[in-house]
Every structure is written in structure tokens, then in C-alpha cells.
Amino acid sequence: MAEAVVDGGDDGFIADVPLIETGPPPVERVYANTDQDLWRMDPATKTISRIGDFVDASGTALAEPMTDIAVDKAGNLFGNSVGKIYTLKLPAGDTGNVTATVLVSLPASSPRMYALGFAPSGVLGAAEALIGGDAAGDLYLIPTDGSAPLGVGTFGKVTASDPGGGAAGDYWQLSGDIAFFEGTTGPIGLATLRPCTKPADTATCKNGNDVLVEIDVTALAKKSATSNLKKRFIGTSGTGFGRLYGLGAWGGEAFAFQRFSTSGATTTALFLSISLVDGKGKIEKDFPTIAAAKNGWSGAGVTTKAKIDLK
């Protein structure tokens, strides 16, 4: 049986070895989640299949919504609610309940976490490090000893020439997700952002045209809460879609999962591909049953060893 490894210092999560029974050997897939269940996607065919509900060790549905998931380089799965980090165990046969075990409960005073991802080895230390993001667009290094997350940067303010429909002086906040990859020439990070009039006030955010940005991993490595992590926009016009709460990538495309969006009498929960050249989104499939449930897609994750081609 494999073991969980907990870093006793202040450098956050260490995940260089397998963790407790986190499922079968890794395969090339992107995972996505709603508040209540886990799905898988084959990047080659873009086929998306449901795995099962999130439950605790007794088989009872989790009391808190799962806001995002992350996958380390070994293919181990993790998830988070706004105040807890979980290890996730896949079911035998890859269909059935997904068992969530609390790895760490964050202090009540900590920011509420909505995004989750692993920074590759060498960015924040010798091993992979678990990164969370809050509604204000700030990123944090998450320790596993129950201590407060450490602020490692934000995405700055909107300028007049930025895509996304914001006004100069607005705040770039996370629309929903972050994702990191080892890369062929060095670590790469991506995020979906939206402009908001007031910091940490999601009611002031513009939700019609999220932008895909490359994260500045050099700035992230400084472990400074004031670092501007927005290295560059992917493309110049935005994705054309809003509420992109889940993000992964493979090859020359990013994959985004839309929370849900209502236009007139129609509510959608879209799965999109996004070009890593011009940043524009393309509808691959709608999920009407997820849209009807009004909890929508919450997050996505892919191993940090995923191969992407970022121009």
C-alpha cells in the first residue's frame, strides 16, 4: 500500500510519491467535476463519461460541494471544497462512487478556495506543490499541517487594451480554474480570468467573455502575495464564453468546462476546446442535464505531465 507524504515545513504539499489508494494507474485523460460527481474525458476523442458521486468512507454523499479537482504527475486525484482538501479514490472498474478522504481542513480564517492545481516540481520547491485559488483571484500555497495557506500572487488590474470586456482599473479575478504542466521547455501555467469591478466581489464580475492567460511561474516562485502572476493573454479577444470553472489542456488545445449560462429561456453547461494560439473557444458539447440541475461544472484537472504545445 502506498503512503501519503506530508511536508512538515512551510513549503506546502509534497506529492512526489503515490498517496493512499488513489486509484488505478494513471491514464491519459482530463477529469472534470460538478459539485457532486466526477467525470472523465479522453483528450483524443473528446468523449466525456461519468464516473460517479463523491462520497465519504461510509458511502454517504459529501455534505459540501466539491469546487475543483487536481491531478499530480503520478495521476493521483485530489479535490477541494471551500475549506477542505481531499484525496480521491476512484472506484474499481472506473464506474461508481468516488471516495473522498479529508487530507487537511483549512483554518476558518483562510480564504475560501475555489480553484486547485499542482505546480510542477522545481517551481515552489523540489517537489510538486498544491496551489489553491480564491474568488478574489489570489493564489495560495496550501500546507497540509492545517496552517494558513501562503499567498503567492494575484493577477493584477485590467488595462484599457485588455480583452474580456472589463474597464481599466477593474480587477482580474479567477473565473474558475488554474492548471499547471511540466512543459518541454519549462513549467507552464494557465488560468481562466474575468474582470470584476470590486476585489473579491463576484457580483461585480463580467461573465460573458473569460480570457485564457499564461501564468508567470517565475513570479509564482517568489512566493509573494503581491506578485502579478499574469504573464500574457492567450490571444487578443478572449474565449467568447463565460463562467469557465474547469480547465485542462492536452496537445495544442485547452479544455474548459462552463459552470452554466442562461440566455433567454436556454440554460447551457458547455464543454469547450480553446485554441492555445488565439485563445478562442469552440463548443464541443452541451450537457443539458447538468445545466438543468443548476449546479453545473465546478472544476477540472489533468496530470502535470500532460503534453501541451503553447506557442
Instruction: Give the pLDDT confidence of 213-258 residue by residue, as tens digits.
Output: 999 999 999 999 999 999 999 999 999 999 999 999 998 999 999 9
Q: What was the pLDDT predicted at 19?
A: 43
C-alpha cell at 194: 474575468
Q: How far is CA 85 from CA 78, 101, 143, 181, 221, in A?
A: 7, 8, 10, 21, 22
Indicate the SS3 state at residue 97.
coil
User: Binning pLDDT at 50, 70 and 90, where does residue 260 land?
Assistant: confident
pLDDT in tens, 206-218: 999 999 999 999 9
Enter the pTM of the model.
0.89
Alpha carbon 233 to its chain centroid, in Å, reads 18
Q: What was the pLDDT predicted at 25?
A: 41
pLDDT in tens, 95-124: 999 999 999 999 999 999 999 999 999 999
Q: How confident is the prediction for the chain on average, in pLDDT?
A: 90
Please check whether residue 70 is in contact with residue 78, taking contact to mean a CB–CB distance below 8 angstroms. yes
Residues 166 and 223: their CA atoms lie apart, in Å, by 28
- Which candidate, 88, 48, 57, 59, places its Cα nearest to that of 71? 88
User: Binning pLDDT at 50, 70 and 90, where does residue 146 land?
Assistant: confident
Q: What was the pLDDT predicted at 311?
A: 76
Alpha carbon 169 to its chain centroid, in Å, reads 26
User: Binning pLDDT at 50, 70 and 90, where does residue 2 land?
Assistant: very low
Domain ranges (residues) in the chain? 30-301
Name the more confident of 182 and 292. Answer: 182
CATH topology of domain 30-301: Tachylectin-2; Chain A (2.115.10)
pLDDT in tens, 4-55: 333 434 445 444 444 444 544 444 689 999 999 999 999 989 999 999 999 9
pLDDT at 308 over 80: yes
Name the more confident of 311 and 141. Answer: 141
**Positive or negative torsion for Cα 85, 247, 62, 77:** negative
Indicate the SS3 state at residue 219.
helix
- Give 102's Cβ-side CA count (13 Å radius): 12
Residue type, 165: G
Q: What was the pLDDT predicted at 12?
A: 53
Work out the burial of residue 45: count CB atoms within 10 Å of its CB; fewer than 13 is exposed, 13-18 middle, 19 or more buried.
exposed
Q: What was the pLDDT predicted at 294?
A: 67
Indicate the SS3 state at residue 183.
coil
